[in-house]
Amino acid sequence: MGTNETLEDFYRTHPAAKSLTQLPDLSNREHGHFNVFSREFCNRYTSYSRRDFYKISLLLGKGKLFYGDQEIDINQNALVFFNRNVPYSWQAISEEQTGYFCLFTEEFIRSGSLFKNATEYPVFRGDSITVLFVSDMQERELLTLFKKMSAELDSGYVHKYALIRSYLELVIHEAMKMEPGHANDVHMDGSARLTSLFLELLDRQFPIDSPEHKLRLKTAGDYAAKLSVHVNHLNRALKEVTGRTTTEHITEKVMQHSKVLLRQSNWSITEVAYCLGFEYAAYFNNIFKKQTGITPKSYRETYKI
């Protein structure tokens, strides 16, 4: 099953690291980390895992993106925003894979951005990965921005990271112009902020990397206690902002991850049930069938990767 890929893992194993004459110093995280690479240095397949950094890719080439229970066909050039809280895998389809990708940490955003953390950008919110297909004109504009970030990274300009951060925000704003529905006001009221905190906490419970690891927060009461609010207050906030209850959100997330485990792991159904917080496999079977219409066994037989 998937793991959590760190920056150290990336520089140790990714083909892009071979293009560097010197590996970056990752010991000082105060101001964060940023880097940009050509996609000629990319894996044909990446394993299903969560990263501890954010990534933006200008994908010029075809492939398949897997996250949650989603399988997205990237059948034309696209700009993709990989949320560090969302585990995913990628499989290249076409031989030609070009473009650019950049990766950066939360600290890089905090050290000078309008936003204090990356999830305040609409393209990095929630438990999804934003995929935007680009026109020829948009592709040219985005390529220019990635090339400017790459050139600035190699420059000796004393304020180069401030300039790179500006280019990065231009990439994000270009995306927000493509998808106006994402460009929500960043100023949140109390209910919206509590909802955002809950969704972030819910995202952090996954993925579960071993059948011995059991889901820590299982009920609405567990999440309310962790957020130091009354469960009724949390429920009202979520209903106001999303139209769904706390339990509905938790159940949906657990079902999404159960599908991932059934498709991508070799764990038994009993092990899947246990790690997701179900004391008895029969209870998990009943909930799964109620939510999906089929049993976990039937789902695995139909969709196993």
More confident residue, 170 or 208: 170
**Residues 12, 161 within the same domain:** yes
Cβ atoms of 222 and 282 within 8 Å: the answer is: no
State residue 113's pLDDT score. 56
Amino acid, single-letter form, for residue 15: P
State residue 288's pLDDT score. 95
* CATH number (domain holding residue 274): 1.10.10.60
**Residues 48, 76 within the same domain:** yes
State residue 186's pLDDT score. 37
- pLDDT band at residue 182, thresholds of 50, 70 and 90? very low
**Residues 228, 123 within the same domain:** no
Residue range 185-191: mean pLDDT, rounded: 53
**pLDDT tens, 204-217?**
888 888 888 889 99
**Residues 251, 128 within the same domain:** no
Quote the domain boundaries for residue 76.
4-182
**pLDDT tens, 120-156?**
778 887 677 899 999 999 999 999 999 999 999 999 9
**Residues 65, 199 within the same domain:** no
More confident residue, 182 or 45: 45
Report the distance separating Cα 105 and Cα 29, nearest Å.
Answer: 9
What is the pLDDT of the chain when averaged over all its residues?
Answer: 86
More confident residue, 182 or 153: 153
pTM for the predicted model, two decimal places: 0.62
**Residues 229, 84 within the same domain:** no
* CATH number (domain holding residue 161): 2.60.120.280
State residue 112's pLDDT score. 62
